[in-house]
Structures are given as structure tokens and as C-alpha cells.
Amino acid sequence: MTRPHCLRFAAFLWLAVGMAVAPAPAYAEGRCTLDDVVAWYDAGTDELKEGRPWAARDRWQPLASAGFAPAQRQIAILHGEGIGLRYSPSEAAFWAGLASRAGDSGAKKLFETYRHEMPTFEHKIIDTRLDRWRAGGIECNGGFLVEAPPAKKISFDVWFHRSVANGPETDAKARLEQAAELATGLAVDAHSYLSLIDGVEFYAPSDNRYHRHAGWLGDRDGNILRLPMSSFNDKTLDYLAQRILLVTKRQVYARLAGSELDDPAHRTIADIDVFGSLYPDIRNQPFFTLMEQALRMAEGLPDDLRKYVGIIDEVHYNPISRHMVRGGRIDAKAAYYDRGLSRPGHRIFFVRQDVLYSSPLLMLRNIVHEGTHAAQDQRAGELMAKADADQRKLLALQSAGKEHTPEAQALRDRIARQTDYANRWYWGRKTADGQRIQDIAFECEALMTEIAAVKAVGGLPQAFDRSSGYLDVCPNAQHALIAWRNERENR
């Protein structure tokens, strides 16, 4: 490639990963970041390990007063053991009760234990204190974190991914801040958690208007929340309020050592994070049960197929709820891998349809199919990185006047092969008239993997009757099913 081609290739590499160029978050003076909270909390843990419980108390108390449940649990333990704070089962029960109500798993049993140690007449006093308690705030300056009054309003830096068309974003910031205010009415600690969001990027989901994923930008400075513009396609903002609060709590808990959030919409199954829906009309338990059954079935796959299960990091349940405003095209896919939200170590697919009448075998097929797409995505990224490295080698040869050597030609051929796969994965196949359309070869590969997986777990070829829209356009898959049926008939 010539130098201009190299620049276009680098630009392509950046576009391919689906990340927007967003401004760095501007931190207000005195504002605490998630890094500040984590550092202050961890410092308390270190102080306790080194035998200075009073110093640990000084670290944890501002966080506890601001509503961070892991710190409240730690304050409860100090009171319960009488180290760093006076021994008091009542105070221990109070702080453990706050943490338990906020969803801290470790605090639930502590609350029961400390409450049992209290005189019975004090139970109602503690319950009244818990009901009346309100979170304060925190400020950070010069490496110090201190208690402060909570800010009166939650405000976010907001920007938009290039996938968002002009127009619909005009009131997104205002509506997001309305949702944040609603969240503060849902939980007394909401303000403290949401204040740790450094900025919000809105994106347009590639598949449909019913997509509702909230997540975080990876490999970036700051704690940047990603929300789809379709978040506003609900009849009310209530569920967006719940979603942003819950995903922020998940983010905080993931950073605070030894802390576990009692998350009703999350399970870890076979090392995969499985997330249910937050809409009250969606039944999560059948989904969790089906995922567990399918992943147990996947344990019987040979290694060359099981890798397509192991590559998945997250599965999200995203069926249509009656709380969504229905309209436009409704995606009929059972599941889909989202390459725009995925990245190395964070491969995500969504289960689109209601699983109430599904089966473990069908769910296994979905997992293997979307896992194949995750592997294709990984391969495309790896080939792009290799092509970039080969391009630098080619430029070095050109600079040395060796651009017509066999070595240079071999590099050009290899770059062409590498970028061909990545181009077809990210942009599709080019037609005779220069248009880009989906390269069905990737779907056919995933379908072949499905067939192999069903066969490996003892399923029947009839499982694919009228159940795959890609079968008609994938001759190899048709031949594989015919051969499988013939094999069974000739036994």
C-alpha cells in the first residue's frame, strides 16, 4: 500500500471497532470520580490490615454517609466487633441494615446477626432510623475525600456516536437528567452512584428500536456510560432510571474488592455473565433456567465446538415489553451478536425472543451460532492488527527502495488477504455495481457450527426443519443435513 492507502487503512481500523471519538470528561472542581472512591475504600482496607481500625473508619465513614453500601457494611463490622468504633450491636445493625437495603449481599446476614443481638424493644427504633435516613455527599480535593452536602441536581456531559442521525438527540440530555432524578426517588443512595458517571454517549443500535442495553465504554479515560437512543422508546422513563442506577452500581461493585451486589437481574452461569430484563412483565427465571440447561448441555461438546461457547462473556435477555412503545420494524431474530458493543474480553450477544416456550437445545444453538460470530469478530480484529503490522514492514521496504522485491510483493499479497476478511466482516461483500451487502458466508459458517453442535449432543437433523432462515442460502449446510439424515437411515 502507498502512504495514502495506509492512512485510509488506519481510519478503517478505527471505524471498524465501532467506537466514537468522544471528548475527555471535564471534572468539576471538588467532584469525586469512581477512581477516587475506589482508592479511598481500598485505603481503608489497607489500614485495617495494618492494624489501624480507627484510620480505616476515617476512610470508610464519608463513603458510608454518602450511601455506598460496601463502606456501610465495613462500618457495621467495626461497630459489631468494637474495633475503631465503640462496640454497639444497635449501630452495627443500623449500618448493616442500610447496606442490606441498598443490595449489598454481605450485609444481609450481618443485619440479621446484629439485630438478633439487640434488645427487642430497639428493633422498631432501628427500623424508624432506616426509613428516615438520607444519604449525604462527598467531595474530593488534593487526594482527600470528605463528607459534603449532596449536589442539588444530577447533570451529565453528553455526546453522540456518529451512528445517531441529526434531530432526535436534541432533548436526550434533558430526558436523561429527568431519568436520573427519577432514580433518586427510587433509592436514597442513587445520587451518590450516579454522580460517578463521567459522561454519557448515546448510540443508535444497529438492529432495531427495541434494543435496551446500557453499558460502559472500554479502554477509555473516565467512567463513560453508553446508552442507545432507543432508551427513550418506553412509555415512561421509569425503566431507564432503574437501568442507569443498576448498571452504575454494578460498575462500582466490580471495582470494590470483596463486595458483591445482590443483583436480581444477574446470574453467573458457567463463567458467563447472564443478565435478565428489568421490565416487570418479562419473566427472567425461565431465561436463567434455560441458559443453565443449555450451558450444561454445552459441556458435552468437543473442544473445537466448546470454544464458541467459551468466547462469550455476556448474554442479555431483551424481549419486547408491553412498556415499550411499539412501532416500526420488529426484529424477528431469536438472538444476535453485537459487534459494535463487543470488544476483546467483552463479547456480548442478546437473546431477542421470549424464551418461555423455547428449549435447551434451541438455546444451545443460539449460543454456538452467536459464539461463532464472536470468533469471526475476533479473527477480523486480529487480521486487522496483523495487516497494520505488515503495512509498517512494507513502508520500511519502500523507504529502503525495495518496494519491487519478492518480499514486498509477499507482504502486499498477505495484506490483501487479511483485509479482505476484515472488509467482508465489517462492511459486507461488494456487488458488481459497487454496493455493499451482508456476506452470507459468515452466517453459513455459524449455521454449520450449529449443525455440528446439535449432532455432538445427540440431537436430530429434524431440529433444523423450518427453524433457520439461512438454510436456504447455505448449500454446504443443506448438504451436511442431507448427509446426516442418510447416515442415520443407513445405520
**pLDDT band for position 18 (cuts 50, 70, 90):** very low
DSSP state of 346: B
Residue 1's CB: how many other CB atoms inside 10 A?
19
Predicted confidence (pLDDT) per residue in 443-486, tens digit: 999 999 999 999 999 999 999 886 667 888 999 999 999 999 99
* CB-based contact 424:400 (threshold 8 Å): no
Give the pLDDT score at 219.
67
Give the pLDDT score at 327.
76
Predicted confidence (pLDDT) per residue in 161-204, tens digit: 888 876 555 689 999 999 999 999 999 999 999 999 999 999 98
Q: For the residues 392-407, what does the mean pLDDT come to?
A: 94
- Is a pLDDT exceeding 50 seen at residue 8? no
- Is a pLDDT exceeding 90 seen at residue 23? no
Residue 206's CB: how many other CB atoms inside 10 A?
14
**pLDDT band for position 5 (cuts 50, 70, 90):** very low
- Is a pLDDT exceeding 80 seen at residue 108? yes
Q: List the Cα angle 222/339/360 in 5-degree steps.
A: 115
- Domain spans in the chain, listed from the N-terminal domain onward: 34-148, 152-255, 397-489
**Which residue reads 447455505 in cell numbers?**
474
Q: For the residues 49-60, what does the mean pLDDT come to?
A: 96
Asked whether the whole model's pTM tops 0.85, one would answer yes
Q: For the residues 385-411, what does the mean pLDDT come to?
A: 95
Q: What's the CA gap between 18 and 377, in Å, rounded?
A: 12
Q: For the residues 23-49, what does the mean pLDDT come to?
A: 87
- What is 9-68 written as a DSSP string? HHHHHHHHTT----PPP-PPTTPPPHHHHHHHHHHHHHHHHTT-HHHHHHHHHHHHHHT-
Give the pLDDT score at 332.
65
Q: What's the CA gap between 373 and 90, in Å, rounded?
A: 55
CATH number of 152-255: 3.30.2010
Predicted confidence (pLDDT) per residue in 324-357, tens digit: 998 766 666 789 999 989 999 899 999 998 998 8
Give the pLDDT score at 28.
65
Contacts of 72-80 with C-beta under 8 Å, sequence gap 24+, read: 72/96, 72/98, 72/99, 72/102, 72/104, 72/107, 73/99, 73/104, 73/106, 73/107, 73/110, 73/259, 74/44, 76/107, 76/110, 76/111, 76/114, 77/110, 78/53, 80/110, 80/113, 80/114
- Is a pLDDT exceeding 90 seen at residue 11? no
* CB-based contact 142:120 (threshold 8 Å): no
Grid coordinates given for 172: 436526550
**Which residue reads 451487502 in cell numbers?**
437
